[in-house]
Amino acid sequence: MAKRFRSLTVDNINQNVRAMKYAVRGRLVAKAEGYSQAIKDGTSTGLPFDQITLCNIGNPHALKQQPITFFRQVLACCVYPDLINSNDIPSDVKTRAQRILDDTSNAGLGAYSVSRGLLSIRKSVCGYLGERDGLEFDPEHIYLTNGASAGIAQFLNLLISEPNDGIMIPIPQYPLYSATIEQLGGVQVPYYLDESNGWALSVEALKKSIDEATANNINVKALCLINPGNPTGQNLSKENLIEIAEFAQSENLTILADEVYQTNVYAEGDCFTSMRKALSESSAAKTVPMASFHSTSKGFVGECGMRGGFMELVNVDPLVEDELYKCMTVSLCPNLPGQVIVDTMVNPPKQGEESYELYTQEADNILSGLRKRATMLVDGLTQLEGVTCNPVQGAMYAFPQVRLPEGALKAAEAAGVPADEYYASKLLDATGVCVVPGSGFGQEPGTYHFRTTILPAEERMEHVIAVMKVFHDDFMQQHTHVEEDF
C-alpha cells in the first residue's frame, strides 16, 4: 500500500517548484512594496525618501509612459462597439475595430477565439514579419499568446521530458528561463556572454558550454537567446546570428529566440536583425527548428497588463506542432483584448490615415525618451567608483558591474545574503530605488551586478542617478572603512 499523503506541506508539494527561484519579483521587491504601502498609509516616518522608484521590472506605464492613443481607441471600440458610431473616434480606428469584430463573427471579445488566435490578427502579424524580414509568413504557424512568457513556457514544456534534458541559456539571462526550466525538471545549460566585449555572444562560448554539458550526460535540446539582450542590452549582428544558426544545426538544436525588445534599439545607425532573417540566410535555413517570441509589453507599446504576444514557428515537424497546439487548446485561447493590442502593434496607422500623425508623434516621443535615458543612465553609472557598464544598445536595462570592497563582501556574508543583494538592499533602504541583484540573472562567479531599467521619466531618472551617486559613495566609503577596522 502506498504511503498516504498526510497533509499539504512544502515537503510534499512539487519539489521542482520549491527549488525554483525568481528574483525579478523576489525578496527585495516585497520590501519595496512594503515601503510603498507605508508611504501610502502615512506610516513611513523616518524613511529617507518619499517615493519608491521601481527600476526592478520593465513596466513602462507604471513609470508614467503613456499608452498609444490609437491602440486604446481600437480596443475600446472592440470592447464597447457602440463607440464605433461616436463622432469622437477617428475613422481608421473604426475600420480597424470593425475588421476585428467581423473576424469574431460578431461574437466580439467575449467569445473564445480559436486557440491560436483570430485569423485576421495572425495575418496582420504575417504582414509585419514579412515587412521586417522580406520573407513570406504563414498565419498557420503564428500563435497568439498571453504575453511572450506564456509561449516560451509552453515551448519549454514541450521540449523537456527527462531530468537530463538540457536547455542552453545565456548568463546573464532573464530568469523566466531558469525558473521555467527548473519547474519543468530540466537542466539549465549556461553559456556566458562576454562582458568585456559588450556582452558578445560567441560560438566558442556556446561550443564550450554544450561540450561540457554533453560530457556530463546532459541531453541538450535547445538554445535560448535573448536579442536585444535582457538584462544585458546588446544587439546581435546578422553575421553573429548566422553563426549561431549554423552552430544550432551542427549540434541538432532547436532555437528559441526571445525578441521582445526588437523595436528597442538605440545606438546610432544600429538596427535589429531577427533570428528568422539570419536563419533564412544561413545554411540551416531549412533544417533548424525555431520558435521566436514577441510581446506587446515592450517596445514603445509597453502594454504589459494586456498580456498580448505571439510565437512564430519555422521548420518544426508538423506532428510536433500539433502536439504544441493541443497544449494550447487546453487553456482555450489567449485573452482577446491582448490579441487586439497585438493587431494594433503590428499594423499601426499608415501615412494618410486619420490617426497616423498622432501615432507617429507618440511613438517617436517614447522612443527618443528611451534612447536619451539609455545614455544618461550609463553615463551616470560609469561615473561611480568601481562601476563599469556596457552601453545599452537595446532593450530597457543597464546591467552594471560593481566592484565591491572586501568589507562589503564580509558584511553580506555576516548578513547571510549574496553580496549583490546586500548592495541592492542597502540602495533600496537609502534611496527608495528598487533594482534587481545580478545573482537573479546569473553572472560570472566573483562578479557583482545589478539590473536597473531606463524607464523612469527624464526628471525622475536624474533624481535616480543623483541619489545612487550619494548612496554609492557612502556605501563604498563605509565598507572600505569597515574593512580597515577588521
Closest CA relative to residue 420, chosen from 192, 190, 234, 172: 172
Q: Which of residues 389-428 bind its own copies (CB under 8 A)?
A: none
Residue 56 makes CB contacts below 8 A (sequence gap 6+) with 24, 25, 28, 29, 32, 434, 435, 436, 451, 452, 453
Residues 23-42 binding its own copies (CB under 8 A) are 24-25, 33
Applying CB under 8 A, the span of 9-17, 364-372, 405-413, 477-485 interacting with its own copies comes to 9-17
The footprint of its own copies on this chain (CB under 8 A) covers a number of residues equal to 101
Per-residue binding letters, 297-336, with its own copies (x by CB under 8 A): x----xxxxxx--------xx-xx--xx-xx-xxxxxxxx
Phi, psi of 145 (to 5 degrees): -140, 160
Specify the stretch interacting with its own copies by CB under 8 A; choose among 125-133, 178-186, 237-245, 267-275: 178-186
Spell out the residues 6+ positions from residue 181 whose beta carbon is closer than 8 angstroms to its own: 156, 160, 167, 169, 187, 188
Q: Per CB under 8 A, which region of 177-185, 365-373, 393-401, 423-431 contacts its own copies?
A: 177-185
Among the listed residues 121, 126, 160, 465, the single contact to its own copies using CB under 8 A: 160
- The distance of closest approach from Cβ of residue 72 to its own copies in the complex, given in angstroms and rounded to an integer, is 5
Site string for its own copies, 242-271 (x = CB under 8 A): ---------xxxx-----------------
User: Residue 123 corresponds to which cell in the numbers above?
Assistant: 495575418
Is the Cβ of residue 149 or residue 401 nearer to its own copies in the bound state?
A: 149
Residue type, 161: S
Distance CA 310, CA 160 (A): 21
Please provide the DSSP assignment of 170-190 as one string. Answer: EES--THHHHHHHHTT-EEEE
Asked if 282 interacts with its own copies (CB under 8 A), we say no
- Cβ proximity to its own copies: between 109 and 427 the closer is 109
Q: What are phi and psi of 54, to 5 degrees?
A: -85, 90
Of 28, 53, 55, 73, the one binding its own copies (CB under 8 A) is 73
Residue ranges in 440-469 that form contacts with its own copies under rule CB under 8 A: none
Output the smallest distance, CB 459 to its own copies, in A.
17
When asked if residue 18 is in the footprint of its own copies (CB under 8 A), the reply is yes
Examine residue 83 and tell whether it contacts its own copies (CB under 8 A): yes
Contacts of 254 (CB under 8 A, 6+ apart): 159, 221, 222, 223, 248, 288, 289, 290, 291
- Interhelix angle 91-103/119-133, rounded to 10 degrees, is 120
